[in-house]
């Protein structure tokens, strides 16, 4: 977030320093440090990319990367003829989109409403509390969810007492509840945290706009609709853009921790599939192929979102 | 936001205020209730808790759950490892990201754009789980403590957060120090870093929370090395034992001793949450400014 605007600035400012022996000598310290850092980056971030070769091989651990037989796109064919994989893509996309939509709306709504709280102390307390779940691990959050949604948990108790249901529901045993539970957990965990950036954007809206709206007789709803929302529109767009590329990344921990045999067909995501096939079953080639598919789709999504933003004249990533 | 209430409040606005207040209260209740409920269960007798109906206050007080947790060797090992990785991991990550951010925020640095790009690319493209796994195994990082510290040391996102902050510092600082004969190392340690305390605190918090909460690396790389387990991974095993057994025979057997997996897990959860809950409110100022810096100002 923070760096996006910076990029623009740089291009305007300075003339580049010319590469010369004198300059190199002067910057010796910086150059040595960056060399060390680049070596580190090549090893830990770029070397694994070489492992993509595995997807086109019949990788055998004993033969290694250099002596395994090449088999072309066979693993990809195997992948796309696997009904499980197609279902896994559906699950990942569906949960990714649902989560993105609900967490987005929740964060924006929460930021706007919190901004309307007039008592300063109250606002501060609510905000501090709202960050708390962000700092808890998914292990803890899923544990808490199990407690809340269990047969004797608070949710069932409320539903029974309100006569909405007669018998407690075992929420984790029915497929239709899984996606909503995941979406709710994401909203619970991240709303306060995601709202930080919108609150900051709201604070930077020119107060005179609100005064002008008041003089024109606008109520609080009208001000939210006509001043606040348009004011944070650029922030909304850029965050949306950044998150679209992550749609396929949004599914591992919670699905892995909450999933069970009964809801497997709706809970498994691409990452879980990779883990199952790659690490547990030892089919490294198939797992890598699935991983590549995910990366490629993510990049395509980012580029498309960026193009759309460019077309509409909104902020964009690159 | 300071706005004067010079214009009379209409009835519609009053309704809005009431609704908004109710909404905020509801929000706080939904956020806090699950956590307070876990706290109550952790202090409650195990067998008694099976009946349900515990809300915000324990029905039958006991400290046995906590005593049980503190006697579990794997949880104690996990706690040591987690503390060690959090301290060491945070320190090394902060140092590495700060140095990198310092380099790419030097206006005169010859390869500043190339080096930035080199790291920004890593945000979008990565090898994926399996090549990474094989690499770590090849480097001898599996069944090793260092897998917690070394691979994640530099993150492009954290680097960019620090860089943005450093770019905001006046250039004259560096120039005058250079005139006084200070080298890049001295400028970094003596001039830039002291000014960067807020952003360092932010990034340290991000990294520390990530380290404290991570479990997947323990499961994937150190599954066979039980002396390298982490707190969250042990908590996960506790959770799956609870959900798989429910109130089955095993649970009942434990229940005889008046602790159940549920209550023990609640106690372990509380102990794991505690450090974070105690620390984060004090760092709030830092991470809020750290996160929003620059990005939305323009």
pLDDT of residue B8: 59
User: Is A251:A92 a contact under the CB 8 Å cutoff?
Assistant: yes
| Domain match, A29 and A154 both | no
The answer to whether the beta carbons of residues B266 and B238 sit under 8 Å apart is: no
A 10 A CB-CB count for A166 gives: 7
- Tell whether A234 is covered by a domain: yes
Domain total in chain A? 2
B262 to each of A80, A256, B85, how far by Cα in Å? 42, 20, 28
A194 and A299 share one domain: yes
Query: Are the beta carbons of B52 and A3 separated by less than 8 Å?
Result: no
H or E stretch covering A65: helix A64-67
CB within 8 Å: B126 and A48 = yes
Cβ–Cβ gap A126/B24 under 8 Å: yes
Q: What is the pLDDT of residue A60?
A: 83
Query: Among B51-60, B123-132, B244-253, which is the least confidently predicted range?
Result: B244-253
Pair A268, A237 in one domain: yes
Q: Summarize pLDDT for B191-219 with one digit per residue, the tens.
A: 999 999 888 988 999 899 999 999 999 99
- Specify if A7 maps to a domain: no
pLDDT band for position A305 (50/70/90)? confident
Cα–Cα distance, A106 to A232 (Å, whole number):
15
Residue with tokens 């498309």: A304
- A93-138 pLDDT per residue, tens: 999 999 999 999 999 999 999 999 988 899 999 999 999 999 999 9
State the first-to-last Cα distance of chain A, in angstroms, to the nearest integer.
13
The shortest C-alpha distance from B209 to chain A (Å) reads 7
CA–CA separation, A113 and A43 (whole Å): 47
Give the C-alpha separation, B231 to B80, whole Å. 8
Using an 8 Å CB-CB cutoff, list chain B residues near A143: 38, 235, 239, 242, 265, 269
Q: pLDDT tens across A166-204, in order?
A: 889 989 999 999 999 999 999 999 999 999 889 988 988
For chain B, which residues make up each domain, given as ranges? 65-298
**Element holding A58 (H helix, E strand):** strand A57-58
Mutate to test the interface with B, among A44, A46, A116, A272 (most CBs of B within 10 A): A44
Same structural domain for residues A133 and A66? no
Task: Give the DSSP H or E segment for A67.
Answer: helix A64-67
Residue B293: band (very low, low, confident or very high) from pLDDT cuts 50, 70, 90 = low
Residues across chain A:
318
Q: Would residue A316 count as lying in a domain?
A: no
> A89 and A68 in one domain?
no
Q: Which domain holds residue A30?
A: 19-72
User: Helix H segments across chain B?
Assistant: 11-42, 46-49, 64-71, 73-104, 112-124, 129-138, 156-167, 171-179, 184-186, 193-195, 197-213, 216-221, 231-245, 249-256, 261-292
Q: Are residues A261 and A214 in the same domain?
A: yes
Are A219 and A286 within one domain?
A: yes
Beta-strand relationship, A69-70 and A57-58: antiparallel
Q: Which of A26, A137, A228 to mutate to test the interface with B (most CBs of B within 10 A)?
A: A137
Residue whose tokens read 């992948």:
A79
CB pairs under 8 A between A and B: 280
Tell whether A68 and A183 lie within a shared domain: no
Q: Which helix (H) or strand (E) holds A75?
A: helix A74-80
Whether the Cβ atoms of residue B15 and residue A219 lie closer than 8 Å to each other: no
Q: How confident is the model at residue B3 (pLDDT cuts 50, 70, 90)?
A: low
Closest CA to A134 of B286, B154, B31, B34: B31
The structure tokens 């960067």 sit at B196
Q: Which value, to the nearest 10 degrees, does the dihedral of the CA atoms of residues A286, A291, A294, A300 take?
A: -110
What is the distance between the alpha carbons of residues B155 and B98, in angstroms, rounded to a whole number? 11
> Which residues from chain A sit within 8 angstroms of residue B292, using beta carbons?
1-2, 196-197, 200
Residues of A in contact with B297 (CB under 8 A): 5, 204
Is A34 in contact with B111 (Cβ distance < 8 A)?
yes
Cβ-defined contact of B108 to A27 (cutoff 8 Å): yes
Round to whole Å and give the CA distance between B94 and A227.
Answer: 40
Q: Is the pLDDT of residue B16 over 50?
A: yes
Do A181 and A67 share a structural domain? no
Q: Are residues A115 and A33 located together in one domain of the fold?
A: no
In CATH, what is the architecture of B65-298?
Orthogonal Bundle (1.10)
C-alpha distances out from residue B43 to A280, B6, B219, Å: 39, 51, 29
* Stretch A231-236: mean pLDDT: 88
- Summarised one tens digit per residue, pLDDT across range B65-86 is 999 889 888 999 999 999 999 9
Name every chain B residue with its beta carbon within 8 A of the beta carbon of A26.
108
Nearest CA-CA distance, residue A220 and chain B, Å? 6
d(CA B30, nearest CA chain A) in Å:
8
Q: Do residues A105 and A56 share a domain?
A: no
The residues facing A57 across adjacent strands are A70
- Would you call B128 and A291 a contact, using CB atoms and an 8 Å cutoff? yes
CB distance B28–A5 less than 8 Å? no
How big is chain B, counted in residues?
298
- Asked if B188 is an interface residue toward chain A (Cβ–Cβ < 8 A), one would say no
Partner residue facing A27 (CB), from B110, B150, B294:
B110
Same domain, A199 and A89: yes
């Amino acid at each position: 977030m923070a760096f996006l605007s910076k990029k623009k600035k740089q291009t305007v400012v300075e003339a580049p320093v010319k590469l010369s022996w004198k300059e190199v000598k002067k910057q010796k310290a910086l150059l040595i440090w960056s060399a060390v850092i680049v070596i580190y980056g090549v090893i830990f971030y770029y070397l694994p990319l070489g492992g993509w070769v595995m997807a086109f091989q019949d990788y055998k651990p004993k033969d290694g990367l250099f002596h395994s037989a090449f088999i072309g796109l066979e693993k990809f064919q195997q992948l796309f003829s696997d009904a499980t994989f197609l279902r896994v893509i559906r699950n990942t996309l569906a949960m990714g989109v649902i989560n993105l939509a609900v967490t987005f709306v929740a964060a924006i709504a929460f930021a706007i409403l919190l901004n309307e709280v007039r008592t300063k102390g109250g606002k501060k307390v609510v905000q501090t509390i709202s960050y708390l779940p962000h700092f808890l691990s998914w292990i803890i959050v899923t544990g808490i969810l199990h407690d809340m949604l269990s047969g004797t948990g608070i949710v069932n108790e409320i539903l029974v007492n309100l006569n909405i249901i007669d018998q407690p529901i075992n929420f984790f045993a029915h497929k239709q509840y899984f996606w909503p539970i995941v979406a709710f957990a994401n909203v619970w965990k991240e709303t306060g945290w995601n709202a930080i950036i919108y609150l900051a954007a709201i604070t930077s809206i020119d107060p005179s706009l609100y005064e002008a709206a008041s003089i024109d007789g606008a109520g609080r709803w009208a001000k939210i609709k006509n001043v606040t929302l348009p004011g944070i529109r650029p922030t909304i767009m850029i965050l949306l853009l950044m998150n679209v590329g992550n749609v396929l990344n949004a599914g591992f921990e919670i699905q892995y921790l909450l999933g069970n045999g009964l809801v497997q067909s709706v809970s498994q995501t691409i990452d879980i599939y990779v883990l199952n096939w790659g690490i547990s079953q030892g089919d490294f080639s198939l797992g890598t192929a699935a991983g590549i598919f995910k990366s490629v789709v993510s990049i395509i999504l980012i580029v498309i979102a960026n193009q759309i933003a460019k077309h509409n004249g909104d902020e964009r990533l690159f | 936001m300071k706005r004067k209430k010079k214009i009379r409040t209409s009835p519609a606005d009053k309704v809005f205020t009431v609704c908004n207040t109710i909404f905020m209260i509801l929000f706080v209740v939904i956020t806090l209730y699950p956590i307070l409920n876990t706290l109550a269960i952790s202090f409650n007798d195990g067998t008694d808790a099976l009946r349900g109906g515990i809300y915000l206050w324990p029905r039958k007080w006991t400290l046995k759950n906590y005593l049980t947790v503190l006697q579990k060797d794997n949880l104690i090992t996990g706690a040591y490892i987690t503390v060690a990785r959090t301290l060491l991991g945070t320190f090394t990550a902060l140092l590495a990201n700060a140095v990198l951010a310092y380099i790419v925020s030097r206006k005169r640095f010859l390869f500043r754009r190339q080096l930035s790009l080199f790291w920004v690319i890593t945000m979008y493209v990565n090898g994926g789980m399996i090549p990474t796994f094989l690499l770590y195994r090849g480097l001898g990082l599996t069944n090793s403590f260092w897998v917690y510290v070394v691979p994640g040391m530099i993150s492009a996102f954290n680097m960019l957060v620090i860089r943005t902050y450093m770019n905001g510092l006046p250039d004259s600082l560096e120039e005058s120090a250079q005139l006084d004969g200070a080298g890049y190392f001295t400028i970094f340690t003596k001039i830039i870093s002291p000014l960067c305390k807020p952003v360092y605190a932010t990034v340290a918090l991000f990294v520390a929370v990530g380290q404290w909460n991570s479990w997947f690396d323990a499961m994937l790389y150190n599954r066979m090395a039980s002396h390298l387990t982490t707190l969250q991974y042990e908590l996960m095993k506790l959770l799956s034992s609870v959900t798989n057994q429910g109130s089955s025979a095993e649970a009942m057997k434990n229940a005889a001793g008046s602790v159940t997996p549920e209550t023990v897990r609640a106690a372990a959860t509380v102990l794991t949450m505690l450090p974070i809950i105690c620390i984060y409110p004090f760092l709030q100022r830092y991470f809020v400014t750290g996160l929003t810096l620059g990005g939305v100002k323009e």
